[in-house]
Structure 1
Amino acid sequence: MSPGVVDFLFRRLVAGEPAADLQWHREGTALSAQTPGAELARRLSETDLDALTPTELFHYVRAAQRLAAWAEGLREEAVGRYCTEPSGEDAPSA
């Protein structure tokens, strides 16, 4: 864990508050609820992994898995369309 996360958790413990940061739930869509797509990809790419708590890191990994599965579905659909096109239509030359 980064020093910032350790400091955050220590301050929460001293204040008698839960270790989880509950404030971010009120600030927008949580990564765990963000639908796969461009916005999720942007959020994942801009996240500072060193600043995440273990729980947040878990949600980050799950969101990245959902995004990868979504992208794989897009790829499979495109390959399926490519493979089923009639051979006379705009096939790329290799």
Structure 2
Amino acid sequence: MNEAPKPPEGIQGPMKAMSPGVVDFLFRQLVAGEPPEDTQWRREGPVLAEQTPGAELARRLSETDLASLTPLELFEYVRASQRLVAWAEQLKERAVAHYCAEEPARAPKPA
């Protein structure tokens, strides 16, 4: 009758945000005396935090495996996504301003 309470399913606390792949990567970095950041990103080009908004940033974000990111990398991913959204919003605003500034004479004539 006095059963011990069952622990909740899954991992709780800070480890909940880390996939097994991330934990394995961080452990290997610690053992090797390397920094916890993935330095391979720097060798392949600018890190997401330094990538200018545009098509290349959109491609990199879409190809990123979110489950493999460390919490710091995930934070940088979100910030890069926000920069991309702001950039796209500026493009839209410029297009709307251009559309609204066109002369009525350019409008198609009814048949």
TM-score (norm 2): 0.74
How many residue pairs end up in the alignment? 92
1:72 aligns with 2:80: no
Cα RMSD, aligned residues only? 1.7
Deviations 1:2-42 (A, max 9, x none): 11001111222233433222342233111111111111101
Identity of aligned residues (%): 70
Q: How does 1:1-94 map to 2 (within 5 A)?
A: 1-90=18-107
Counterpart-to-counterpart distance in 2, 1:69 and 1:36: 9
Q: What amino acid is the match of 1:64?
A: S
SS of 2:45's partner is: coil
Counterpart-to-counterpart distance in 1, 2:72 and 2:19: 14
TM-score (norm 1): 0.86
SS of 1:88's partner is: helix
Which stretches in structure 2 are left out of the alignment for 5+ residues?
Answer: 1-17
Deviation of 1:59 after TM superposition, in Å, equals 1.0
Greater relative contact order, per chain length (Cα 8 Å cut-off, separation 6+): 1
**After the TM superposition, which parts of structure 1 deviate over 6 Å for at least 4 consecutive aligned residues?**
none
SS of 1:29's partner is: coil
